[in-house]
Structure 1
Amino acid sequence: MAHLQPPIIIETTHISPPNGTVPSTTLPLTFFDAPWLTLPLAESVFFFSYQNSTDCFLKDFIPNLKQSLSVTLQHFFPYAGKLIIPPRPEPPYLCYNDGKDSLAFTVAESSGIDFNDLKADSAKDIRVLHGVLPKLPPPHVSPKGIQTRPTMVILVTIFPGAGICIGNTSTHVAGDGVTFTHFMKYWMSLTKSNSGERTTLLLPPLPIHGCRNMIKDPGEVAAGHLERFWSQNSGKNISHATPKNMDRATFKMSRQQIDNLKHWFTEQSENQSPVSTFVVSLAFTWVSLIKTLVEESEIEAKEEDEDFHLMINVDCRNRLNYAEPIPQTYFGNCMAPGIVSVKRRDLLGDRGVLAATNAIIARIKDMLSSDLLKTAPGWGQEVRKWVMSRFPTSVAGAPKLGMYDMDFGLGKPCKMEIVHIETGGSVAFLESRDGSNGVEIGIALEMKKLDAFAMIVQHGIKKFEM
């Protein structure tokens, strides 16, 4: 188990787009952005193997990383800007001021934590990752009551002779997982292309900001979220305290284990349509998690008709009925929440994975076949039902994002962690880092519950072996 010893700060610099490349810009929040005003920050850590010394790291790696970040921010400039929160009733907005705004970039060295322990899949205290995770500063409040907060901060920590961590904290208001992954892949590609390697790298397409005004609120959806935000004392609610007495671990499902699940589903289900890796592995994980929580809960529900709820997100890019579609490279939030509901007796029964898989498939199919803009006014009520339920579960990440498909010139990550799953009952889903088309599942629970979850998963995997 890694010890809770913070790294030593070497330097903090402020990185901005090259001077004069981005005009001062104000971006309004859309109804997709507004819900995140009251929700936790987005936090992630990428681990890379690095065998060199701190001196080599500072001389050979950091200058290129900074320079490529500056150019990347020329295109992803909201991450160098601020979230502005005026006094009520003026709505918050994103703003970048040329020559004034920048992204805080900190470099640190760790000598008291074992890099291999930190990146291990095995259970560890959630607090150890916070040592390599930057802290987003609290809002600055002007005499006129205007709150100003950076949208992103980055911390790069070297473990001499072992590895590097790149930690990132940002406000989810600025962009969703698609946007963040786009930013990271662009930065990665540019860094590698500038490293002197004799390779020709194609940079990802540039993000698009100009279509933000196309996203029209279909029914005062944003107004409801803003009202809730103002009533909860504004900016204080965009941060969260680190939970205590909680561990996290990563569980892997191999390609063969997933194929076994798919085969079992096909045999048991009346629905003969192919089932995706994400859906069937999510269903299996959800059932295992609820079994863990119900068995360990001090308050047992006796009613068999109790509903358990899972929240999934569907990317709305290219799926909104506008004259012109929202492109896949749109910078911002563009996710629709979908609530999957399954009766207790069905989810915890012998065929719980079947019930969960069918429910997830049906919910996704319903969302993709409906006019998402027409359903948007009802999203809030559905999410409130999810929040008020027992053991509400949600999903962070997705295998299709390709979080391991990043190389800063050091090789692909040897581990990636979505840290913010420790709040809100989220489960992290990533593609397997070895490229075998399996999945990695990140879970944060109390230690006793995490052990119970591991046993339930192991027993469940054996059940579906062919």
Structure 2
Amino acid sequence: MAPEPLHPVTVLEQCHVSPSPAPAAGQPRALPLTFFDLVFWGFPPVQRLFFYDNADLLDASDFTLRELPKFKKSLAAALHHFYPLAGKLPCELSEGVAPEVLFSHGDSVPLTVAVSGDDFEDLAGDHARDTARLHPLLPALRQHGGSRSQDVLAVQVTVFPRAGICIGTTLHHAVADGSSYAHFLDKWATTHRLGPDCKKAVAAIDVPPLFDRGAVRDDAGLREAFVRDHRALVAAGDRRLGDWDLSRRPGVVLATFRFTDKQLRALGRHVESETSARCSPYALACGAAWAGIVHARRSGSGRDVDGGAAAPRARFGFVTGCKPRASPPIPANYFGNCLGVCRVEAGARGLTAAAASAAIWRVIEGLAEEGGAFRDARGWVRTVREYASARAVTVAGSPKLRLYAAADFGGAWGRPRKVEIASVERTGAVALAESGRDGDGGIEVGLTLPRAEMEAFRTFCLDLFASLC
């Protein structure tokens, strides 16, 4: 079991925030899950942490009296536009139970307000930190009606006196992808930044989310195929998604590595000279992370990769945005998941950053072919579980989401100093984001590993970029 946190939080308030005003009568109350959504059914929820500096915050009461009412009002106003986030989702894909998000009058998002005595500066750093210290900052999704349904979203605000606050969100992945989440977050932060008197102005400058499921065509019948796959996997007792989970292992740490533009350009030149592939910064960052993790696992355990003593292949998985690739294209403001699953394999022994980046880039190039993003789509649900059982390295987030900008609450908070996808501890993913602090245009890479493997990964990255100078 994971160790108990050294500084557990003290809960000050637990309340519920409903959309305000309530959604219009003509808005759909039930949103069926599409085949895109069903790919992520059974995944651990996506959990993010946003750390905001504020040394002038005297104590918890200073926040609850002056700032908390604004947070509640702006959250309620954002939920007016994104009301399905206050709804409920079935816990199981049972026969006769529609896989859909259902919003009913009075539904709400649980909001927890807490105070922590932990070291804010240390928690918000890039260095390796025990993941157990982050768990108290993350809200849980409630279950209802004897576990028949569950919340879609939960929020927690944790106060660190004389240091700042941390906003934690937990989101069911089958309801929204990163793009839809960023749209909601931007609406919430913008409403808070402009104040309650500016709601009409916010509505005027921002495109509202589109909930029409008719925007997603499913001529191949993938939705029903995925429902059948999930039910068959449950009946067979399949638990392979848990093979990614590091949360029960001792000594697991979270760290962030910043690949600057200069470093990525140097790596790009090296990759091109070695493989002739002219890779994007995304492929380069992913390739360096993938090769580094393969190296770290081998260094930490004496095994090559994927849990085998001499595994011949290393596996990598990422998702691609399918809104512009669908036929017809899906509008950019569509709310839900619109991601395709992409697979990459390469020789495991001695995998280099150059070889890994080039392999990823070739798969990305193939997406430009007609129908390339949907190749082998019928197998997505089972493919994900195969990759989990092989402990393949995957990706969470994207620099394109620009979450540092989206989460600008203005006033005393501004942009977060640090954004973490804490749930990578349970999904085996590397978390990618735009560089949020130094303005160097680079890419942040966050990941969780056992401490010895994290040190091996750090050494790999230092040696890699030192060799390119």
> SS of the counterpart of 2:210?
coil
Q: Distance in 1 between matches of 2:205 and 2:166?
A: 23
1:96 aligns with 2:103: yes
Q: Distance in 1 between matches of 2:95 and 2:273?
A: 57
5 Å-filtered alignment, 1:336-415, equals: 336-345=340-349, 348-349=350-351, 352-371=352-371, 372-373=373-374, 375-380=376-381, 382-389=383-390, 391-405=391-405, 406-409=407-410, 410-415=413-418
**Once the two structures are superposed, what CA deviation does each residue of 1:77-124 show, in whole Å capped at 9, x if it has no partner?**
1110000247424342110002x21100111122x2111111111111
Contact 1:17 1:71 in 2 (8 A): yes
2:431 to 403, 428, 445: 428
Q: Distance in 2 between matches of 1:55 and 1:328?
A: 41
> SS of the counterpart of 1:39?
coil
Q: Distance in 2 between matches of 1:394 and 1:234?
A: 20
Aligned residues: 446
**Once the two structures are superposed, what CA deviation does each residue of 1:252-280 show, in whole Å capped at 9, x if it has no partner?**
11222112112222333324x4x221111
Q: Distance in 1 between matches of 2:449 and 2:311?
A: 26
Closer, same or farther: CA 255–287 of 1 in aligned 2, 3 Å: same
- After the TM superposition, which of the residue ranges 222-231 and 278-287 deviates more from structure 2? 222-231
Matched with 1:163 is: 164
Amino acid at match of 2:462: Q
Q: Distance in 2 between matches of 1:421 and 1:72?
A: 26
**Once the two structures are superposed, what CA deviation does each residue of 1:119-161 show, in whole Å capped at 9, x if it has no partner?**
111111101111111112245327xxxx110111100011111
Closer, same or farther: CA 171–305 of 1 in aligned 2, 3 Å: closer
Matched with 2:81 is: 75
How much has 1:203 moved relative to structure 2?
4.7
How much has 1:248 moved relative to structure 2?
1.1
Contact 2:300 2:453 in 1 (8 A): yes
Q: Report the identity percentage.
A: 29
Contact 1:35 1:225 in 2 (8 A): no
5 Å-filtered alignment, 1:44-193, equals: 44-50=48-54, 51-53=56-58, 54-84=60-90, 85=92, 87-98=94-105, 100-110=106-116, 112-141=117-146, 147-193=148-194
TM normalised by structure 2 equals: 0.88
Contact 2:299 2:453 in 1 (8 A): no
Closer, same or farther: CA 225–213 of 1 in aligned 2, 3 Å: farther
Contact 2:11 2:113 in 1 (8 A): yes
1:267 to 273, 277, 287: 273
1:285 aligns with 2:292: no
Closer, same or farther: CA 303–152 of 1 in aligned 2, 3 Å: closer
Contact 1:9 1:106 in 2 (8 A): yes
Q: Distance in 2 between matches of 1:95 and 1:254?
A: 43
Q: Distance in 1 between matches of 2:118 and 2:365?
A: 46
Amino acid at match of 2:354: L
Q: Distance in 2 between matches of 1:87 and 1:286?
A: 37
Contact 1:174 1:333 in 2 (8 A): yes
Contact 1:253 1:440 in 2 (8 A): yes
Closer, same or farther: CA 195–22 of 1 in aligned 2, 3 Å: closer
Q: Distance in 2 between matches of 1:21 and 1:305?
A: 53
Q: Distance in 1 between matches of 2:322 and 2:389?
A: 26
Matched with 1:5 is: 7
1:34 aligns with 2:34: no
**Once the two structures are superposed, what CA deviation does each residue of 1:270-306 show, in whole Å capped at 9, x if it has no partner?**
24x4x22111111111111101112222445799881
Contact 2:340 2:374 in 1 (8 A): no
Amino acid at match of 1:432: S
**Once the two structures are superposed, what CA deviation does each residue of 1:163-221 show, in whole Å capped at 9, x if it has no partner?**
01000112111111111111111111111010789xx8785421110145633262443
Contact 2:21 2:80 in 1 (8 A): no
5 Å-filtered alignment, 1:328-343, equals: 328-343=332-347
Q: Distance in 2 between matches of 1:72 and 1:329?
A: 15
- After the TM superposition, which of the residue ranges 51-60 and 299-308 deviates more from structure 2? 299-308
Amino acid at match of 1:270: S
How much has 1:388 moved relative to structure 2?
3.9
**Once the two structures are superposed, what CA deviation does each residue of 1:375-428 show, in whole Å capped at 9, x if it has no partner?**
421334543543343x41100111111111121111110111101111232111
How much has 1:312 moved relative to structure 2?
0.7
Matched with 2:230 is: 226
1:452 to 446, 449, 456: 456
How much has 1:454 moved relative to structure 2?
1.0
Q: Distance in 1 between matches of 2:160 and 2:214?
A: 41
Q: Distance in 1 between matches of 2:107 and 2:451?
A: 42
Contact 1:190 1:203 in 2 (8 A): no
Q: Distance in 1 between matches of 2:294 and 2:246?
A: 24
Structure 2: 5+ residue stretches without partners: none
Contact 1:30 1:222 in 2 (8 A): no
How much has 1:20 moved relative to structure 2?
3.9
Closer, same or farther: CA 373–247 of 1 in aligned 2, 3 Å: closer
Closer, same or farther: CA 45–315 of 1 in aligned 2, 3 Å: same
Closer, same or farther: CA 11–138 of 1 in aligned 2, 3 Å: same
Q: Distance in 2 between matches of 1:139 and 1:230?
A: 21
Q: Distance in 1 between matches of 2:33 and 2:130?
A: 36
> SS of the counterpart of 2:36?
coil
